[in-house]
Structures are given as C-alpha cells and as structure tokens.
C-alpha cells in the first residue's frame, strides 16, 4: 500500500481522484492548496468556500486533510510573471506556470515531506511508467496542454486517477458515493480573478494607457482602454459597431511603440492568419525528440482544445521557429505552443511573435 497525498481543490475531479485511490487500497491524505488570499469585489474569498468543501469531502471519504498556504510562492512565481507579460502587451497563460511552479514543485515537495510515495491530482491526463505525459481519455477534458512544462521525474511521482475516465463518469461516481460536490460547477478562467471582470481586476495592478484603434490604412476609428486588455483575434468589447462594411471588427495586431490597436473587418481577414510563429522557453518533458537546427515535423496546439495542427519546428537551443502546414488564426504572443506525437505530450514553448 502506498501513501498518496492528493491535491484537493474542492471540485469533483480531485474528490473522485481521492475516492478512487482509497478504493484501490492506498493510504490517502487530502491537502488543500491555498494559492490566493485576496477577496473579490463582493468581499468574498473563494478559497474559504473551497476549503469548506474540501473538509466535507474528506469527512465523507474518512481521510485526514490539511490546508497548506502557497500564496507567497504563487505571487512570486506566477502572479508577478502574469503582470509582467500583460505589461508587455502579451497574453500569458498562468495555469501552465502554476502547474510547473506550484503543483509540481511546491506541492510535490510538501507531499514528499509527508513521506508520500506519490502525489495525485484531478487532472484529466495520464502518464506511463517512463514518465511520458499522455492525453486524458476524455478528448473534451484532456488537460495535457496545461502540463507541458512538467518533467518526467515529477510525473513519475504523480498519479492521475481520473485520466482514464470521461467527465460524465466522474460525476456519476461522485453521485453514487455521495460526495457533496458531485454537481458543483467546474471552475473556469483564471483562479485568482474568479467571477470578477477581468479589466477591473487588472486595473488594480497595472496603469492603463489608452490609445487609438486604427485600420490597415491608418484611419483612427476609436479608442482602446489599454493594449493589455485586448488579445489577438478578439471581437467582443471593441465598441465600434456600425463602421466600415458592416462586418465585425477583430483585433489583428498591437503596435506597442505607438500604443495602437490594429483592427480588421471579417473573421476570415488575411491579417488574422499566420504561417508561423517564433517561440522561446522551449522545454521537453522527457527529453528532446530531436536536436540540431534542421526543421522537423511535429504536431502542435496553439490553444487549449484546438485540434492538433501539422507543423515543422526548427530549434536553436531554447528558441525555435514553427512553420504551419495550414495558416493558423490569431496566433497570440504569450500563449503556449504545445507539441504532441500521437497521445504523447512532448513539451512546448511560449509564442513570442507571429510570422
């Protein structure tokens, strides 16, 4: 029998992960990670509600439970980077960094201090004995995209009990076991923002710099509130309906030097499509599948739930150039390009610019 420390979020996925591990005869310890302590605009701290759910879950499963505070580590390793990226006009993905810096670093270290043989999470992923990260069995819930910064050595110490299941099966198991969060809504968006408006949240930390919205021809057609509030391919919230030929306007580019937002009309406009991307911070889970500067074929996702795209990758250390077989829409600096080979998630990098 192994001792397994399970990261419990207060949601149904991690609760069922703990249940399945207990049924398999493991000694299970539940741990709630408090990564963000700030209250929202209504004075509510979501962490307190989630911790209450964790206590109920553990009482139902009859397992010991703890709360550990990683708020300081989260602010230093994740949130500071998040703000830095937005200040540069990029669109970061903090969930990726949270997995690397908190769940598979700080939390894994904590689990080992409890003499655990393994840590476990409710991620919809799988792994093999060699430490390869595999897609989850449910294609609609597969979360390997968010774990591409992990390493094989970390994955060998991790268990993913719900990775072989579909979401509907997870909820059914929870219902049958009487787990109190069986119908709890899945969390969405960035954890530390919660239900608040994103723009209002960001304004608390970064000064806005309004500027012009311009067309390809340089015509000023509106004002933006600050480049950090917009992302490539965005349609909603531009506030310039009725102009041009009647089609919707989309964000095509950000001119950081002149503080201008370039807009185009039509979701199929050529300026929304790119043949390649420059990437940095290239990392591999279980070693690079190839080396050298010769372009190699690879499958890539540029956003969560996107179908795999055929591409070629030319590496130069931790930087690289991706060339897509088919032009890709709204390639966004700051987002992750994640590499696959069949069901195996190989690693990935951060998009620095579209090409």
Whether the model pTM is above 0.85 = yes
For the ranges 128-132, 200-204, 324-328, the lowest mean pLDDT is seen at 200-204
Q: Work out the pLDDT band at 189, boundaries 50, 70, 90.
A: low
Q: Which of 45, 58, 98, 345 is catalytic?
A: 98
Cα separation, 323 vs 257, whole angstroms: 27
Q: Is the pLDDT of residue 1 over 90?
A: no
Q: Work out the pLDDT band at 204, boundaries 50, 70, 90.
A: confident
Average pLDDT over residues 44-53: 77
Q: Is the pLDDT of residue 196 over 80?
A: no
The pLDDT of residue 178 is 95
CB 278 within 8 A of CB 319: yes
Into which CATH architecture does domain 208-267 fall?
Answer: Roll (2.30)
Into which CATH architecture does domain 273-354 fall?
Answer: Beta Barrel (2.40)
Q: Is the pLDDT of residue 255 over 80?
A: yes
* Catalytic site includes residue 98: yes
Q: Look up residue 115 and give its two tokens.
A: 């003499």
Which carries the bigger pLDDT value, residue 76 or residue 188?
Answer: 76
| pLDDT tens track for 224-237 | 999 988 999 999 88
Average pLDDT over residues 231-259: 87
Cα separation, 66 vs 71, whole angstroms: 15
The pLDDT of residue 35 is 85
* Catalytic site includes residue 345: no
The pLDDT of residue 297 is 94
CATH 3.40.50.620, applies to 3-177: yes
| pLDDT tens track for 78-109 | 999 999 999 888 999 999 999 999 999 999 99
Which carries the bigger pLDDT value, residue 48 or residue 173?
Answer: 173
Q: Where are the beta strands (DSSP E) in the chain?
A: 3-8, 27-34, 65-69, 118-120, 125-127, 133-135, 158-159, 211-214, 220-224, 249-255, 260-265, 273-284, 296-301, 309-316, 319-329, 336-341, 344-354
Q: Is the pLDDT of residue 130 over 60?
A: yes
Q: Is the pLDDT of residue 322 over 70?
A: yes
Is-same-fold flag (208-267; 273-354)?
A: no
The pLDDT of residue 198 is 76
Q: Work out the pLDDT band at 242, boundaries 50, 70, 90.
A: low
Angle at the Cα of 198 (from 195 to 200), degrees rounded to 5?
Answer: 105
Which carries the bigger pLDDT value, residue 252 or residue 89?
Answer: 252
The pLDDT of residue 207 is 87
Cα separation, 229 vs 231, whole angstroms: 7
| pLDDT tens track for 6-47 | 999 999 999 999 999 999 999 999 999 988 766 555 555 567
Average pLDDT over residues 51-59: 92
The pLDDT of residue 188 is 65
Q: Work out the pLDDT band at 193, boundaries 50, 70, 90.
A: low
How many of the other CB atoms lie within 10 Å of CB of 39? 12
| pLDDT tens track for 145-182 | 999 999 999 999 999 999 999 999 999 999 999 999 98
On average, the pLDDT of the chain sits at 91
Domain map (residue ranges) of the chain: 3-177, 208-267, 273-354
Which carries the bigger pLDDT value, residue 213 or residue 182?
Answer: 213
């Amino acid at each position: 029998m192994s001792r397994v420390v399970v990261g419990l979020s207060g949601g149904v996925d991690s609760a069922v992960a703990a249940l399945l591990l207990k049924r398999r005869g493991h000694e299970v310890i539940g741990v709630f990670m408090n990564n963000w302590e700030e209250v929202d605009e209504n004075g509510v701290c979501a962490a307190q509600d989630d911790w209450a759910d964790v206590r109920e879950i553990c009482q139902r499963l009859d397992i010991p439970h703890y709360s550990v505070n990683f708020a300081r580590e989260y602010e230093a390793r994740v949130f500071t980077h998040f703000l830095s990226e937005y200040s540069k006009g990029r669109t970061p993905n903090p969930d990726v960094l949270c997995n690397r810096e908190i769940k598979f670093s700080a939390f894994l270290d904590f689990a080992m201090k409890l003499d655990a043989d393994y840590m476990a999470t409710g991620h919809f992923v799988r792994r093999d004995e060699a430490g390869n990260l595999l897609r989850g069995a449910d294609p609609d819930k597969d979360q390997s995209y968010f774990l591409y910064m992990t390493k094989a050595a970390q994955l060998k110490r991790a268990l993913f009990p719900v990775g072989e299941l579909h979401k509907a099966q997870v909820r059914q198991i929870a219902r049958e076991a009487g787990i109190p969060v069986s119908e709890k809504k899945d969390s969405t968006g960035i954890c530390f923002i919660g239900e608040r408006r994103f723009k209002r949240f960001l304004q608390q930390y970064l000064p806005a710099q309004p500027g012009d919205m311009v067309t390809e021809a340089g015509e000023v057609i509106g004002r933006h509130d600050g480049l950090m509030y917009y992302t490539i391919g965005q349609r909603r919230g531009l506030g310039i309906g009725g102009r041009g030929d009647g089609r919707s306007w989309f964000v095509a580019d950000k001119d950081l030097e002149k503080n201008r937002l370039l807009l185009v009309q039509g979701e199929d406009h050529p300026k929304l499509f790119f043949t390649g991307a420059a990437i940095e911070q290239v990392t591999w889970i279980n070693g690079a599948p190839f080396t050298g500067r010769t372009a190699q074929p690879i499958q890539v996702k540029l956003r969560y739930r996107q179908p795999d795209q055929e591409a070629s990758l030319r590496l130069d250390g931790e930087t690289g150039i991706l060339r897509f077989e088919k032009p890709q829409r709204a390639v966004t600096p700051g987002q992750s390009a994640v590499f696959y080979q069949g069901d195996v998630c190989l690693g990935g990098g951060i998009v620095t610019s579209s090409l």
